[in-house]
Amino acid sequence: MTEGVEVAIIGAGQAGLATSWYLKQANVDHVILEAGRVGETWRTRRWDSFCLVTPNWSVKLPGAEYAGPDPDGFMPLAELIDYFQGWADSFDAPVQANCQVTSLERDGDTFILNLARERIRARRVVVATGAYQRAHRPSGAEQLPPTLTQLLAEDYSNPSALPSGAVLIVGSGQTGCQLAEELHDAGRKVLIACGRCPWGPRRLGGRDIVWWAALSGFLDRTPATLPGPMSRLIGNIVTTGHGGGHDLHLRTLKQMGVELLGHFAGVDGNKIYFADDLAASADFGDARLADLWKYIETYCAASGEALPDFEWPLPLRVETRTELDASKEGIGAVIWTSGYRPDYRWLKLPVVDDMGFPVQRDGASEVPGLYFAGVHWMRKLKSSILYGVAEDAELVATQIIGRKS
């Protein structure tokens, strides 16, 4: 057992570093235990051409709000990683790299964090291991022919790394749509099995969609506004930052020649099946845009801001196939971009709900001294993103500082 610490933060991503920044200002003894390096998830779970989907001005990390020359741009991956590393270095964040916490246990009024070669005792623990940790593959994915290359989105790097042939992408959230566009632009035949995701125009009235979502209060929605717990799994607004930012959604993919399919429904030999539900999925996305539009209308009425012009598209109605033969279609690879799920199985404490999300209030769990930060929908829609993570991190740090005093 090594010498104990007052606070142990697990994870050196935006949530862990933000919490550390606030604790550092209060001179609270703490350590950040990171399985890899600073911003490891950004380093290893993104493809080569990745860039932010949210504009640079929305990076509002404590002590590191974006102040560069391109506020309306979208940082590419290498620049973003340097940004995180520079931020950590700027306040001498106490990161212990390559220290994966394999389990967490309660021991009296303290915690024991088990690592590969040592154990650390801490009075307080902040779990900041990311919004989601486990890639999700739908039921039936394991039945794909073994000769067909399949990979998770986090394992995709670039078009040239895939075998030749057409590419089937399963999942039409931000990642799925961006990979579909990239592969299509690279000359590949692309088919995409679509799910239910929100979408929006990149810009409204000359301002980015994120500006409207932030100023209208849309990003401040709380879990109580959701129709049910499953709604926490709904993805973010589909768009892209590539090429300076432009619209990217089911309609734009169809226009460029990507074949749209219903959601993945299973496999039988070489045959892959899809539900006949593309229209329903598209209507769902349209309805979520209508939800945002209500916030925009309310904001404009209260602030005097002019309501932006927007031509609502006709409902998307496309005749789709419900089955295809992978061999006859020449499919060389399947990329799963079907979302992520929380994974806190390594916590040896009863602190998650039936869906695996932490049970907490303002970041504090029901176990005294155990906190969470950076969880999707932890307090608000913006809880895990670069625009909003600081708010929750400050609240968590304030509770820790209060208990310490």
User: Residue 358: which pLDDT band, with cuts at 50, 70 and 90?
Assistant: very high
Strand-pairing partners, residue 104, are 113, 347
Predicted structure pTM score: 0.96
- What's 173's DSSP letter? S
* CA distances to 44, 205, 288, 378 from 314, in Å: 39, 20, 15, 35
For the chain, the 3-state helix, strand and coil shares in percent, each to the nearest 5, are 30, 25, 45
CATH homologous superfamily of 5-133+342-404 equals: FAD/NAD(P)-binding domain (3.50.50.60)
User: Residue 286: which pLDDT band, with cuts at 50, 70 and 90?
Assistant: very high
Q: Tell me the pLDDT tens digit for each residue of 147-202.
A: 899 999 999 999 999 999 999 999 999 999 999 999 999 999 999 999 999 999 99
Q: Tell me the pLDDT tens digit for each residue of 70-85.
A: 999 999 999 999 999 9
User: Residue 1: which pLDDT band, with cuts at 50, 70 and 90?
Assistant: low
Q: Which residues contact 255 (CB under 8 A, 6 or more apart)?
A: none
Whether pLDDT at 2 is above 90 = no
Alpha carbons 128 and 131: distance in angstroms, whole number: 8
Whether pLDDT at 405 is above 50 = no
List the chain domain ranges: 5-133+342-404, 136-339
User: Residue 274: which pLDDT band, with cuts at 50, 70 and 90?
Assistant: very high
At the topology level, CATH places domain 136-339 in: FAD/NAD(P)-binding domain (3.50.50)
User: Residue 365: which pLDDT band, with cuts at 50, 70 and 90?
Assistant: very high
* CA distances to 73, 132, 135, 147, 156 from 45, in Å: 22, 12, 10, 25, 8
User: Residue 404: which pLDDT band, with cuts at 50, 70 and 90?
Assistant: low
Q: Confirm whether 5-133+342-404 and 136-339 share one CATH topology.
A: yes
Mean pLDDT over each residue of the chain, to the nearest integer? 96
Contact yes or no for 263/275 (Cβ under 8 A) = yes
Collapse the DSSP code of 111 into the 3-class scheme (helix H, G, I; strand E, B; otherwise coil) and give the result: strand
Q: Provide the CB-side half-sphere exposure for 228 (13 A, CA).
A: 3
